[in-house]
Amino acid sequence: MGCCDTDHDHDHDNDDEDDLLECAKVGQKIRHFTLEAYDPTEGGFGEVDSEKILKKKKWLILVFYPADFTFVCPTELAELASQHEKLKKLGAEVVSVSTDTKFAHLAWQTTERMLKGVKFLMAADPAGHVSRYFDVWDAESGLDLRGTFIINPEGVLVGSEVNFYNVGRNAEELVRKMEANVYLAKHPAEACPAHWNPGDKTLTPSEALVGKVYEALNPE
């Protein structure tokens, strides 16, 4: 698929190229990366620097999508824009990424009416280096699959979701996952059950909880 492919012609003595074969993995720290970007808020070009974002103790959410000027993609980015303020309040920097150039991002965001509310950075990865690293790059099409990645302020990848081209994502679920991750960062001994929302009961794993999850979540 992407960076995890082993069929590459490269010098195995070159550490930098060998690193490209290592995909980001949940539970591990990500490598530093930079990407050019279009900034709809400023109406100009800028840069996404993962290290600078994390140094600000922010969460980083990367939302990969196939291409500008397509069909499901504007609905996803509009959906993401509708939840952007909530994600920002949770301490997250939201960045969309595709293999289009920053110039294509500018043209698309300013002409597609569905993207009027988009205020997050739109990063450009035309060479596919970062897309390969997160293993969403499709070598056959040269496009990205629909991948969403949540990285905590320590640089650890804590959330990963990848969909095929024809299935759009739910930004409200992304907010829910971020709320759970932010809560657990403050309460590391706990765990959030399925469909957890702020204020719901959590679980505290222990020998006493084995076989007693129902009782823990449904006290008499």
pLDDT tens-digit series, residues 59-99? 999 999 999 999 999 999 999 999 999 999 999 999 999 99
pLDDT at residue number 1: 59
Sign of the CA dihedral running 31, 120, 143, 108: negative
* DSSP code per residue over the chain: --TT-------TT-HHHHHTT----TTSBPPP-EEEEEETTTTEEEEEEHHHHHHTT-EEEEEE-S-TT-SHHHHHHHHHHHTHHHHHHTTEEEEEEESS-HHHHHHHHHH-GGGTT--SEEEE-TT-HHHHHTT-EETTTTEE-EEEEEE-TTSBEEEEEEE-TT----HHHHHHHHHHHHHHHH-TT-B--TT--TTS--B--SGGGTT-HHHHHS--
Beta bridge partners of 59: 92
pLDDT at residue number 32: 98
Percent of the chain with pLDDT over 70: 90
At residue 220 the predicted structure's pLDDT band, cuts being 50, 70 and 90, is confident
Q: What is the pLDDT of residues 162-181, one digit of tens each?
A: 999 999 999 999 999 999 99
pLDDT at residue number 2: 56
- Active-site position among 4, 23, 73, 192: 73
Checking if the pLDDT of 26 tops 90, the result is yes
pLDDT at residue number 154: 98
**Residue 149: CA count within 13 A, CB half-sphere:** 28
pLDDT at residue number 21: 60
Instruction: Judge whether 73 counts as a catalytic residue.
Output: yes
Q: What is the pLDDT of residues 50-59, one digit of tens each?
A: 999 999 999 9
Average pLDDT value for residue range 95-112: 98
Percent of the chain with pLDDT over 90: 89
The domain segmentation of the chain, as residue ranges, is 15-169
**Which homologous superfamily is 15-169 in?**
Glutaredoxin (3.40.30.10)
Q: What is the pLDDT of residues 151-163, one digit of tens each?
A: 999 999 999 999 9
Cα 152 from Cα 133, distance rounded (Å): 17
Four-CA torsion 62, 135, 98, 115, nearest 10 degrees: -50
At residue 9 the predicted structure's pLDDT band, cuts being 50, 70 and 90, is very low
Average pLDDT value for residue range 129-152: 97
